[in-house]
C-alpha cells in the first residue's frame, strides 16, 4: 500500500499545475451545487409553498441543462472551457443573490432555471479544458479524479446542507426550519461561486505538440469534424447508463427501508456509502485503462457491474448491499471512460458540444427511468427495477464495444501552462 501511494503521488506531481487549480474550482463548484439540492425544497416549503411547487422547481433545474445543452456546448467550443467555467460561476452567484431575496414564485422559477443552466456551464467546460492541458496518457487519471471530485463534493455538500441550518439557528436564535435559516445557508453557494472565480483568475492554458501534424492532428487528436448525428450515436452509451442508474439508484433509500425495515439512520449511512463508492471508483480506473485500453476497460467494468449488480436480488440485506456497493464502485471506475472515448473520437473544437450531448443523453435517460421506476415499484416491487438496472449496464457495455469510437493514441506532447488573463 505504501508503494502504491508513493507511485500515485509521483504520478500526480507530473500533472500540470493548472489541472490542480481546475480541481479546486471543481470542488468549490460541486459544493455550491450540492448544498441547495438538500435544502432548497425545504426553503420553498418554509415560504408557504407545497410539495408540488418544490417538485416543479426540481424539474426546472434539470430541464435547463437539457434544453440548452447543445448551445452551451457550442459556446464552450467557441470561447473555451476556462471562460465558460468563470462566466457560469459569476452568473450562478448573481442568480443565487436573487433567489435568497425574492419570494415571488414566477421569478423564482426563472432564476432557478437559469441557475441550472449556469451550473451546467461549469460542468460542461471542465472536461474539454482538462483534456486540453494534459497529455493523452494522463487523461484517464485526470478525468477520473474530476468525476470523483464532483461526486464526493456532492456527498460533502449533502452533509453540510443538512447541518448548517442548525448551526445558523443556534447562533441567531431562530428555528432551524425557518425561511431566514435557510436563506442564510443559501448564501454559501454565492461565496463558493466567488471562490471558483478567485481560483481560476488569470489562468490561460494551451498545449504545444512536439510531434508533427498528421492525419489525426495535434498529439494524435482528430482534426476532421464529426457530424452531429454521429456524436449523438456515440453518446447512446451514456443514455443507457443514465437509464440504468435512474431506474434504481434514486430509490435505494426506499429499497432498504421497505424490503428490510432498516431505520432512517441506517439507511442514511448505507446511501452515503454508495455515494462514496461511486466517487472513489473514479480514482481507480487508470490502471484498467492502461492495461486494457478505454474501450475494453469500459466493457469489462460495465459487464462486471451488470453481473454483480444482479446480486442485489439476493434476499439477504448485507449481501444485497455488498453487491450493489461493488457494482456502484465499478460504475464509478467506468464512467470517465466514456469521456475518454468521446474525446478521442472528435476534433478538439467539438469537445464542448460532445460533452453537452453526452450529459443530455445521461440526464434524459435518468429522468425517464426514474419516472417509470416508481410505477414499476408499485406494481412489481423492486425485483424488476433491479433486473433493468443490471440489464442496462450490460447494454451500455455492448454499446461501448460496438459504437464507432476511436481509441486513444499517445503522442509526444508538452503542456505549457501560463497564468494570464484569458482574452
Q: What is the mean pLDDT of the chain?
A: 78
| Residue 59: per-residue pLDDT | 57
For 367, the grid coordinates are 429522468
Output the CA–CA distances (angstroms, integers) from residue 385 to 241, 243, 258, 312, in the order listed.
Answer: 14, 11, 14, 11
For the segment 22-37, the average pLDDT, to the nearest whole number, is 86
25 - beta bridge partners?
none
For 287, the grid coordinates are 490502471
Q: What are the chain's domains? A: 16-208+413-423 (1.20.1250.20), 223-405 (1.20.1250.20)
Place of cell 485526470: 142
For residue 249, is pLDDT > 60?
yes
Of 266, 49, 255, 32, residue with least CA distance to 149: 32
For residue 147, is pLDDT > 60?
yes
Of 124, 123, 87, 118, residue with least CA distance to 200: 87
pLDDT above 70: percentage of residues in the chain: 82
Residues 6 or more apart whose CB falls under 8 angstroms from that of 28 comprise 192, 193, 195, 196, 199
Residues 6 or more apart whose CB falls under 8 angstroms from that of 55 comprise none
CA–CA separation, 121 vs 126, rounded Å?
9
| Residue 14: per-residue pLDDT | 55
CA–CA separation, 81 vs 56, rounded Å?
30
User: What count of residues does the chain have?
Assistant: 423
Task: Please give the DSSP secondary-structure letter assigned to residue 282.
Answer: T
Which of left, alpha, beta for 261 (phi over 0: left; psi -120 to 50: alpha)?
left
CA–CA separation, 60 vs 53, rounded Å?
10
| Residue 332: per-residue pLDDT | 86
Place of cell 464495444: 401
CA–CA separation, 67 vs 63, rounded Å?
6
For 290, the grid coordinates are 492502461
For residue 186, is pLDDT > 70?
yes
The answer to whether the CB of 77 falls within 8 A of the CB of 354 is no
Position with higher pLDDT, 388 vs 52: 388
The answer to whether the CB of 203 falls within 8 A of the CB of 21 is yes
416 - beta bridge partners?
206
140 - beta bridge partners?
none
| Residue 312: per-residue pLDDT | 93
* pLDDT tens string 299-334: 999 999 999 999 999 989 999 999 999 999 999 888
Lowest mean pLDDT among 66-80, 308-322, 386-400: 66-80
Of 401, 338, 419, 398, residue with least CA distance to 139: 338
Output the CA–CA distances (angstroms, integers) from residue 65 to 22, 59, 234, 383, 420, in the order listed.
Answer: 21, 11, 19, 32, 30
Task: Please give the DSSP secondary-structure letter assigned to residue 297.
Answer: H
Place of cell 456546448: 73
Task: Please give the DSSP secondary-structure letter assigned to residue 227.
Answer: P
Amino acid at each position: 500500500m505504501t508503494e502504491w501511494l508513493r507511485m500515485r503521488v509521483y504520478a500526480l506531481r507530473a500533472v500540470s499545475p493548472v489541472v490542480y487549480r481546475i480541481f479546486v474550482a471543481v470542488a468549490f463548484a460541486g459544493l455550491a451545487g450540492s448544498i441547495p439540492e438538500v435544502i432548497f425544497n425545504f426553503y420553498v416549503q418554509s415560504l408557504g409553498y407545497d410539495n408540488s411547487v418544490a417538485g416543479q422547481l426540481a424539474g426546472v433545474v434539470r430541464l435547463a441543462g437539457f434544453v440548452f445543452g447543445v448551445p452551451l456546448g457550442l459556446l464552450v467550443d467557441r470561447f473555451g472551457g476556462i471562460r465558460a467555467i468563470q462566466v457560469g460561476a459569476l452568473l450562478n452567484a448573481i442568480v443565487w443573490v436573487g433567489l435568497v431575496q425574492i419570494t415571488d414564485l414566477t421569478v423564482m422559477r426563472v432564476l432557478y432555471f437559469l441557475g441550472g443552466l449556469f451550473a451546467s456551464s461549469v460542468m460542461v467546460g471542465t472536461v474539454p479544458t482538462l483534456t486540453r492541458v494534459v497529455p493523452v496518457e494522463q487523461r484517464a487519471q485526470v478525468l477520473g479524479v474530476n468525476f470523483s471530485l464532483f461526486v464526493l463534493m456532492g456527498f460533502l455538500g449533502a452533509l453540510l446542507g443538512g447541518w448548517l441550518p442548525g448551526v445558523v439557528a443556534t447562533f441567531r436564535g431562530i428555528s432551524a426550519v425557518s425561511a431566514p435559516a435557510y436563506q442564510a445557508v443559501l448564501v454559501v453557494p454565492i461565496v463558493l461561486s466567488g471562490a471558483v472565480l478567485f481560483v481560476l483568475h488569470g489562468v490561460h492554458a494551451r498545449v504545444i505538440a512536439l510531434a508533427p501534424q498528421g492525419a489525426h492532428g495535434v498529439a494524435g487528436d482528430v482534426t476532421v469534424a464529426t457530424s452531429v448525428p454521429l456524436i449523438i450515436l456515440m453518446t447512446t452509451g451514456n443514455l443507457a447508463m443514465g437509464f440504468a442508474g435512474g431506474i434504481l439508484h434514486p430509490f435505494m433509500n426506499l429499497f432498504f427501508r421497505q424490503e428490510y425495515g432498516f431505520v432512517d439512520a441506517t439507511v442514511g449511512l448505507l446511501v452515503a456509502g454508495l455515494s462514496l463508492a461511486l466517487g472513489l471508483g473514479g480514482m481507480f480506473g487508470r490502471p484498467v485503462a492502461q492495461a486494457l485500453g478505454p474501450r475494453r476497460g469500459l466493457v469489462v467494468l460495465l459487464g462486471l457491474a451488470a453481473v454483480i449488480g444482479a446480486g442485489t436480488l439476493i434476499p439477504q440485506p448485507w449481501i444485497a448491499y455488498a453487491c450493489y456497493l461493488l457494482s456502484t464502485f465499478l460504475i464509478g471506475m467506468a464512467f470517465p471512460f466514456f469521456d475518454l472515448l468521446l474525446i478521442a473520437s472528435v476534433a478538439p473544437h467539438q469537445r464542448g458540444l460532445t460533452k453537452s450531448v453526452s450529459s443530455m443523453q445521461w440526464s434524459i435517460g435518468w429522468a425517464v427511468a426514474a419516472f417509470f421506476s416508481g410505477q414499476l415499484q408499485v406494481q412489481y416491487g423492486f425485483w424488476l427495477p433491479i433486473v433493468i438496472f443490471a440489464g442496462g449496464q450490460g447494454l451500455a457495455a455492448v454499446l461501448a464495444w460496438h459504437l464507432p469510437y476511436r481509441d486513444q493514441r499517445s503522442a509526444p506532447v508538452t503542456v505549457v501552462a501560463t497564468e494570464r488573463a484569458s482574452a
